[in-house]
Structure 1
């Protein structure tokens, strides 16, 4: 695609005169209302200057997001697509602040499924759109519902609920705060959910769903930030979770889940992978966090992230159908300081279709 754009530095408040003439004042006010700097904001301008778009994106991902396109919208979006193809990205999203369904469809964008927790207040767009580049969206034609966690610590429970709703084991309408907190209560290591405890809670909640835990350490995890006395009693609970897993027949594989193994689970076996990642790359703070891996596109795994950073201008449009390059996901899923990888793999309900669970063989590659 021939370049038809110019990239202009984004300086909130110091808008160039041509942008002040082109963009509505309420759009410029919204652009500058939050600190978007963590997500590399930039203006992409059509070659003749008639249209422009504000783009942002999480670091370490394979998408860009159009916050708004102003002026000649078709020209602005064409410029964005040209830019995105040159960057080798998998996806462009478009927040529905000012985008019309007609303009989005004309540019090849499909509407995103609205989140189960509907946007409230002025900080959330009521719609959003996505365009996969190069036909790469074939592997995510039927995405799971998006549900945002209602606390800072219930990400594990939410990813499990979303996975089971996607698999048909849980009604979508049942995903609410009560379900979220109830599953968290059953899985928590206070306040986090460690992999074995989460796997046990999933098996108890959905007995017909095959579950496997992949955790390449036999030591208690996610405790290094705590004092010795705080670590001690949580370690007791983690050992109890391992005993529960053994009693319930849940395999706990101590070989590291590889990225090919993860892709095999979601692409070929149609399983869901709850993966523990650090938010250091995407958000700038090293906090362990659960995401749901449910699809694959060339070079990237597609996840649902149940949390987004409103302070940096993120919305549900960023966190839903989020493509993360294989290398980035490989890096961010090694949890410091122990450098372990933790995952819970959930198969399709046995009443629907028997499933062979992904485990790791002695080389760390997928087996069976």
Structure 2
């Protein structure tokens, strides 16, 4: 009997046989004609229902021995400025199509290939060296993603898999990343990661409606008094307010000053140095967590501040959990879960507001009891 690898192990990659493949841009109006000879017209029809143009959709196809008719093809996309590819579907000889995408990813020096489970089955995925992703506990508010997904890392490093939880509102990303981090580190039971926990932590951390770094760090320490928490913010000024009118900024700025007072009172340090990618990697190497404030402009096309969880590293990239998936461009939980982002790209994303400030909250494993108040 074949032993199924533990989720925290790096599965031994099968020997890859060189694949003769061709890569062409996908066009929802003309590409289906290229696939008609495969006899899978139901899949191309579904491909046309979403505008995937923001994710560079393309076909990776495997021609027959005569170099003519394709006998396998995959629709492939990815978030911009990341280090992975995603197979939306593979048609024809699915394992052959997946093998071609893996080779395509290797040629680009990427960290990972994923495969959405719309039509993929476990046997086909396993044949191509993919392992199942843990199913999401919930999906983002606007998302209707596949019921399953698969991943194949293109290196031998192990990346432990946190649970995936999609934020159920547009504004609870900070609370969700903290909850996923504590679940991943064993501080919070998986069964306690739910909407009540999401909204409860957000209510304690919010600057209405966003969570700024100091308020989030204070709320995390209050919720888990034995967790070692450090807030990183390289400005003394209020953040995440520049889009608001002056009268709206004033009272939120007051709340942020109050959060700093609370941090000092309960012993949560606020580190004013700019947290570097090297610092993030060092923290993750200690198997600690980094809640990082980023802009979604590069990955999803809108310059909105957003919290992600950094929880692992691979050569050249940091692995994050993003609690939000943008369904309007074909983005799903499979994209957002175990998402590798190249170091330089993450460094560019992690600057928000007009001041290009960097905010983060690190959560350690060592006990740090609250001081007497």
Structure 1 229/121 Cα, relative in aligned 2: closer, same or farther at 3 Å? Answer: closer
- Counterpart in the other structure of 2:35: 19
Q: Following TM superposition, by how much is the alpha carbon of 1:334 offset from its aligned partner in structure 2, in angstroms?
A: 1.3
Cα distance in 2 for partners of 1:329, 1:187 equals: 24
Cα distance in 2 for partners of 1:214, 1:119 equals: 27
- Counterpart in the other structure of 2:272: 254
TM-score, length-normalised on structure 2? 0.90
4+ residue runs over 4 A deviation = 118-122
- Counterpart in the other structure of 1:65: 86
Q: Following TM superposition, by how much is the alpha carbon of 1:15 offset from its aligned partner in structure 2, in angstroms?
A: 3.1
- Counterpart in the other structure of 2:296: 279
TM-score, length-normalised on structure 1? 0.91
Cα distance in 2 for partners of 1:318, 1:216 equals: 30
Structure 2: 5+ residue stretches without partners? 1-16, 65-69
The reply on whether 1:133 has 2:154 as its aligned counterpart is yes
Match of 1:40 among 36, 40, 56: 56
Cα distance in 1 for partners of 2:244, 2:142 equals: 37
Cα distance in 2 for partners of 1:279, 1:17 equals: 35
- Counterpart in the other structure of 2:145: 124
- Counterpart in the other structure of 2:339: 322
Match of 2:326 among 296, 306, 309: 309
Q: Following TM superposition, by how much is the alpha carbon of 1:28 offset from its aligned partner in structure 2, in angstroms?
A: 1.4
In the TM superposition, what whole-angstrom CA distance separates every residue of 1:312-341 from its partner, at most 9, and x where no partner exists?
Answer: 011110000000000000000011310111
- Counterpart in the other structure of 2:206: 188
Q: Does the 8 A contact of 1:59 with 1:283 survive in 2?
A: yes
- Counterpart in the other structure of 1:159: 177
Structure 1 187/118 Cα, relative in aligned 2: closer, same or farther at 3 Å? Answer: closer
Q: Following TM superposition, by how much is the alpha carbon of 1:3 offset from its aligned partner in structure 2, in angstroms?
A: 5.6
Q: Does the 8 A contact of 2:140 with 2:166 survive in 1?
A: no
Structure 1 119/234 Cα, relative in aligned 2: closer, same or farther at 3 Å? Answer: closer
SS state of the match for residue 303, structure 1? strand
SS state of the match for residue 59, structure 2? strand
Structure 1: 5+ residue stretches without partners? 355-368
Q: Does the 8 A contact of 2:139 with 2:166 survive in 1?
A: no
Q: Does the 8 A contact of 2:40 with 2:92 survive in 1?
A: no
Match of 2:46 among 19, 25, 30: 30
Q: Does the 8 A contact of 1:213 with 1:253 survive in 2?
A: yes
How many equivalent pairs are there?
348
Cα distance in 1 for partners of 2:124, 2:314 equals: 26
The Cα RMSD (Å) is 1.8
1:201-350 alignment to 2 at 5 Å?
A: 201-267=219-285, 269-348=286-365, 350=367
Cα distance in 2 for partners of 1:119, 1:219 equals: 31
